[in-house]
């Protein structure tokens, strides 16, 4: 049961990252493509997309928090360097979570800019995660 739970938590973590960061990257690209639409149509499309993305954002944030804590506590014995880099990663993750919640709010004037920042931060976090996996 223990190994199965470890695999489930790792999968849940990776799947949640893929949904959250992939959704932001897609939204950023789609918003650029929607720039050719009339302002009213673009605004309506943004509102409907944000409303549909909100449940996925909330579930992803919850699953990432649960699986991340489980994965950290399940692997003790990390070095000081690991914890320093993890701290940087978690600060960026807090930024991504805040952006994800903000872009799903109705009538947000800077949704595209926030998605761009969240998407770039999520790609940096994925790189940091790869580094952390390498040094552990």
Q: Outline where DSSP puts E strands in the chain.
A: none
* C-beta of residue 13 within 8 angstroms of C-beta of residue 64: yes
State the pLDDT confidence band at 1, using cuts at 50, 70 and 90: low
The domain ranges of the chain are: 2-135
Give the tokens for residue 2. 């223990």
How does DSSP classify residue 34? Answer: G
- Chain-wide mean pLDDT for the chain? 91
pLDDT tens, residue by residue, 89-114: 999 999 999 999 999 988 888 888 99
Number of DSSP helices (H) and strands (E) in the chain, helices first = 4, 0
pLDDT tens, residue by residue, 22-42: 999 998 888 878 877 888 887
End-to-end CA distance of the chain: 24
Nearest to 89 by CA among 135, 23, 22: 135
Residue carrying structure tokens 């926030």: 114
Which pLDDT belongs to residue 109?
Answer: 82
CA distances in angstroms from 61 to 25, 78, 93, 95, listed in the order given: 16, 24, 10, 12
Give the tokens for residue 72. 């950290």
């Amino acid at each position: 049961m223990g190994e199965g739970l470890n695999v489930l938590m790792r999968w849940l973590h990776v799947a949640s990252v893929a949904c959250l960061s992939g959704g932001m990257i897609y939204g950023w690209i789609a918003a650029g493509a929607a720039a050719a639409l009339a302002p009213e149509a673009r605004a309506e499309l943004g509102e409907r997309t944000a409303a549909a993305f909100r449940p996925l954002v909330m579930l992803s944030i919850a699953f990432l928090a649960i699986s991340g804590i489980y994965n950290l506590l399940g692997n003790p014995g990390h070095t000081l360097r690991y914890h320093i880099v993890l701290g940087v990663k978690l600060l960026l993750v807090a930024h991504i979570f805040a952006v994800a919640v903000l872009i799903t709010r109705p009538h947000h004037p800077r949704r595209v800019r926030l998605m761009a920042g969240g998407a770039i931060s999520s790609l940096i976090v994925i790189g940091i995660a790869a580094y952390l996996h390498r040094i552990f």
